[in-house]
Amino acid sequence: MRIALPHEYGYVNQHFGRSREFAIVELVDGKMVSKKIVSAEQLQHNHGGLAGLLKDEQVDTVIVGGIGAGALQPLKETGMQVIAGINGKIEEVVMKYAQGQLPSGLVVCCNDHGDNCSH
């Protein structure tokens, strides 16, 4: 299983569309076996492009903080599971996911700046 998380200074970036890079983590039998950082510098707010980047990285699941409906739709269209409303250090979030301890609430931001989010 491959998981993507918007990455900012080792933490889950709380604004998916503004993420300059993503952590791509591979889980095997509930253990993190690899982690790499991929650049999304040229794809900020290019929702289809971000979905394409993650699809090319063979991502199954995307774990995010806030995400707008425009970014959520292309991810879902590629068959990726999206878990939103998450914050914390990348490694800790991944381990909580592997242990089934992440909340399943969905946060969708209503505008480009994430100011009006609903749960």
The CATH class of 2-118 is alpha beta
* pTM of the model as a whole: 0.85
- For the stretch 87-108, pLDDT in tens is 999 999 999 999 999 876 554 5
What percent of the chain lies above the pLDDT cut of 70?
A: 83
Q: Are 30 and 89 in contact (CB under 8 A)?
A: no
Q: What is the mean pLDDT of residues 15-20?
A: 88
In the chain, where the domains are located? 2-118
